[in-house]
Amino acid sequence: MDKYYLTTPIYYVNAQPHIGHVYTTVAADVLARWERFLGKEVFFLTGTDEHGSKVAAAAEQAGLSPRELVDQTVQRYLDLWNLLEIKFDRFIRTTETDHQKIIQSIFSALQRNGDIYPGVYEGHYCVPCERYLAPAEGVDCADCGRPTEKLSEETYFFRLSRYQERLKKHFLENPEFIQPERIRDEVTNMLSDPLPDLSLTRRCRWGVPLPDGVTGSGLTIYVWFDALLNYLTGVNYNPLSPAEANQSELFKRFWPPDVQLIGKDIIRFHHIIWPAILMALNLPLPKKVFGHGWWLSGNEKMSKSKGNVVEPFDFCGRYGSEALRYFLLAEVPFGMDGNFTEDAFRKRYNSDLANDLGNLVHRFNHLVRTNFGGKVPVPRDGGILARKTTELLPILTKKMENLDFFGFLETVREVVSTGNHYLDEEAPWRKGPNSGPVLYNLTETSRILSIYLEPVLPRTAVLIRRQLGLMDLPTGKEALTWGLTKPGTIVTEAPPLFPRIK
């Protein structure tokens, strides 16, 4: 059986989960469900990034210990994923002791290779903005214009510069690695200047301690190094026995990742630093790392101070998690920025889910019950609907491979539309008992639509099959055969799948 290893970034717990976290995680869940549907063995990893000074600061502000804060916030994430039907295979936390031990071992291993070496970090730091300045920025903070402090501290560097040429070569030979294409150009461009080595320690108490025997008082491991390696610890990588034979079963089965989803803000970490670390560890690189776009709110960046943050719990409460999953993937192509407004949400909900999909299922359900006593009639010729639905698999598979959820849903919508059109053309309400085959075809269409939509709308898919009395039929690829529904199957009355929003 083919395997499929999929990751989201682990989310930083200094603040509450927001729509951006939901976006990545829903997309990953849809991919995971789709690949399971295709018959692959899937490992879907997500989790939380819990170290670093911002978490420590957030805890202090809340009057909690870092430990208390991270535990609380993690629970919020778990609650949200539960609400949104996210079926991950592992939820990793960087505060787990196993993870921390592995990080330390990897640090030591890289030190033995000469990939990590001691040095002094020098640079400018803006205290009010809490940001380090790039050397090209000069001495004054580009954000606030104020003068900055000069810093000079002992650290350990990762020899990133050593991998510059190999990274270039890899990008050239593996165009699939960086997605979408636009971002590939950007990352390649980052390699046109010499890569500076990367400081791997920070002066912060709330972090993974340096390994035993490595000196550096008050220093902990840089939170990004700690975080990136979750993709290895998540499948129980064993740095002490790098030989393939001594690796964990999980690692042997799933490494490397097939797809890693990230937001476009962290491409530098995932397209340069992360593969360089893997090169240093002599491990195969992920096949595809996709940087998706951002959700804006009213065409502006979401921020607490502007008061335009979309709150996922509240949104699920009011419109349901299915609608939110659908909207995020249907509204905007995955690689682009989107604009999240309640108005746009309502429009898409009403037109796609209530009027087209929901109403299609509802109107023919009603016809079967009123004209055929609720029993699915006998088929004759599948016609256009049979052709339309059965030729869908290769098209939809291609879209999912490209992480084109937008195009995937567009294609499914065309079938819904064909169904509504067909129903109007055939007008079974005029034909009475002669309309049997027409209604049979709509049963099959709804059933197959429920299969295709299941990754995006898992609850709705089941609701459709339940009202059609089809809970016993298969739901894998074998479900795509036209004609599986047995005539005589009992259709039961059901409320609209998506009540219209007034």
281-300: which residues touch RNA (CB under 7 A)?
Answer: 294, 296, 299-300
- Structure tokens of 265? 């803000």
Return the residue of 168, 421, 466, 477 that touches RNA, per CB under 7 A.
421
* Between 291 and 469, CB nearer to RNA: 291
For RNA (CB under 7 A), the number of binding residues is 74
Return the residue of 356, 375, 384, 402 that touches RNA, per CB under 7 A.
356
Q: Is 309 in the site for RNA (CB under 7 A)?
A: no
Question: Would you say 155 and 163 are in contact if contact means Cβ atoms under 8 Å apart?
Answer: no
Q: Is 355 in the site for RNA (CB under 7 A)?
A: yes
* Between 248 and 411, CB nearer to RNA: 411
* Between 79 and 300, CB nearer to RNA: 300
- Binding to RNA (CB under 7 A) within 106-125 occurs at 121, 123, 125
Q: Is 497 in the site for RNA (CB under 7 A)?
A: yes
Side chain identity, residue 473: L
Alpha-carbon gap, residue 377 to 449, rounded angstroms? 19
Binding range to RNA, per CB under 7 A, among 79-87, 183-191, 318-326, 461-469: 183-191
Binding range to RNA, per CB under 7 A, among 71-79, 149-157, 228-236, 242-250: 149-157
The CB-of-361 to RNA minimum distance in angstroms stands at 7
Residue 298, phi then psi, degrees to nearest 5:
60, 35
CA nearest neighbour of 26 among 204, 292, 353, 389: 292
The CB-of-212 to RNA minimum distance in angstroms stands at 22
CA dihedral 265, 313, 25, 181 (to 10 degrees): -40
Between 374 and 413, how does the x/- string for binding to RNA read (CB under 7 A)?
--------------------------------x-------
Q: Is 137 in the site for RNA (CB under 7 A)?
A: yes
Alpha-carbon gap, residue 68 to 363, rounded angstroms? 52
Q: Is 417 in the site for RNA (CB under 7 A)?
A: yes
Count, residues in the chain: 502
The CB-of-107 to RNA minimum distance in angstroms stands at 15
CA nearest neighbour of 80 among 26, 10, 14: 26
- Binding to RNA (CB under 7 A) within 193-222 occurs at 196, 198-199, 202, 222
Alpha-carbon gap, residue 199 to 349, rounded angstroms? 47
Task: State which H helix or E strand residue 44 sits in.
Answer: strand 41-49
Q: Is 54 in the site for RNA (CB under 7 A)?
A: no
Q: What sections of 191-269 are H helices per DSSP?
A: 223-228, 230-233, 249-254, 267-268
Number of CB atoms found within 10 A of residue 384's CB:
15
Q: Is 466 in the site for RNA (CB under 7 A)?
A: no
The CB-of-169 to RNA minimum distance in angstroms stands at 20
Residue that has been written with the tokens 């729509």 in this structure: 19
CB contact burial 111-131 (16+ within 10 A = b; e otherwise)? beeebbeeeebebbebeeeeb
Q: Is 175 in the site for RNA (CB under 7 A)?
A: no
* Between 74 and 198, CB nearer to RNA: 198
Q: Is 427 in the site for RNA (CB under 7 A)?
A: yes
